[in-house]
Amino acid sequence: MEKLIIERSGPLHGTMALNGAKNAVLPIMAACLLTEEESVIERVPRVTDVLTMAAILRGLGVEVVAGEDQLTIRPGSYPGAMAPYELVRAMRASVCVLGPLLAKRGEARVALPGGCVIGPRPIDVHLRGLSALGATFSVEQGYILAATSGLRGTTVDLAGSHGSSVLATGNTMMAAALAQGRTVIEQAACEPEVVDLANFLIAMGARIEGHGTPVIRIEGVKRLGGARHRIIPDRIEAGTLMIAAAITGGDLLLEGIRADHLAAVIDKLREADVRIEQFNGALRVRGASGLRAVDVTTRPFPGFPTDLQPQMMALLALAQGTSVITERIYPERFMHVEELNRMGADISREGNRATVRGVSSLSGAPVIGSDLRAAAALVLAGLAAKPQTEVGGLDHLDRGYVNLEGRLAQAGARVRRVTE
């Protein structure tokens, strides 16, 4: 078992370039199933979720060639239509092969997805969108069996119980790109990752308008070709590094950033007295001597992202005063609370709300990251805790961050990975 050993670190300093967005590249890899031609995807992060999606594509008969920071994907006339449980269980985003397989092959057999344990995340919105286009579904022995005699454009509302679904919007948009006629997606997700997918589909020859707004319109085409595309920077990695600078009182320059993707995060960090300067494609983040408590509510984009809620909680654990964090996307996403409290934080939870009473210091302890972002939050807390913190659950961390401990160490953090 691997774990990180983190000693209390001084202020982080230096310059870091962002990786491509993990949450953008996964559906874009799946979208390559819509064509038989070669596509090249640039700025691909080397995280385990990308390796899992590559394995799923190879299992379908697709050739995937990995370069230093890019993937070349050659589908050809791939024979497969089944995504097996042993791969799909590791990553919820693997369900996004469902739409492309239906559109291109007319059938799909995809295991019910897994991923982080942060409460129930049903795929009913995915099935609603694809059913409206003309697909039929059944579930047998843990697999979704899907079929269609031909997808046809329609109007579909993708509103979910906690807001619009990013992956369901992507799945429906990919299927509609090859459907006959016009599709209108109402209550579509507006996240930058959805926009990036739409831009890739357009480069392939799709006819899409309105991406980035709640109403997306797609005119189906008969075929799509290959494309070359560069992935947007990872806004969640950016937010995590911004909080790393803030929690250590450091001074980091983050390059290759999209500040417009982080407006809500920037606003909340400034409210907490973190100093942030914007440059052309870069942000300078400097921590303050005393952090202020702030209230945070997670919402769909352009609101504060749920994927940065645990990291923000680690920061606010050291802020002066009392903060209230309300989780409106995944109400059960609070498994990191107990672990932060083991480190000396004072956090209580009631329903989808956590009350964070700031403490003067955190103390190191052995802790386990129960999911991807919870693991990142514990790493950040460890940077400010004394004398030493041990963070397990690195299989989760590695799903979404490229060598996080190495990047932090280059900025002055005292962190190393060990194997027991």
Q: Is 116 a catalytic residue?
A: yes
Closest CA to 259 of 240, 233, 241: 233
Q: How far are the Cα atoms of 53, 270, 314 from residue 248, in angstroms, in the given order?
A: 35, 15, 12
For residue 78, how many other CB atoms are within 10 A of its CB? 20
Contact 355, 326 (CB under 8 A): no
Q: Which amino acid is at 357?
A: R
State the burial class of residue 93 (Cβ atoms within 10 Å of its Cβ: 0-12, 13-18, 19+): buried
Contact 19, 189 (CB under 8 A): no
Token duo for residue 66: 């990995």
Active-site residue, from 32, 96, 116, 190: 116
Q: What would you measure as the largest C-alpha separation in the chain, in angstroms?
A: 63
Query: Which 8-state DSSP code applies to residue 233?
Result: B
Token duo for residue 132: 């409206």
Buried b (16+ CB within 10 A) or exposed e, 325-344: bbbbbbbebbbbbebbbbbb
For residue 223, how many other CB atoms are within 10 A of its CB? 12
Catalytic residues: 116
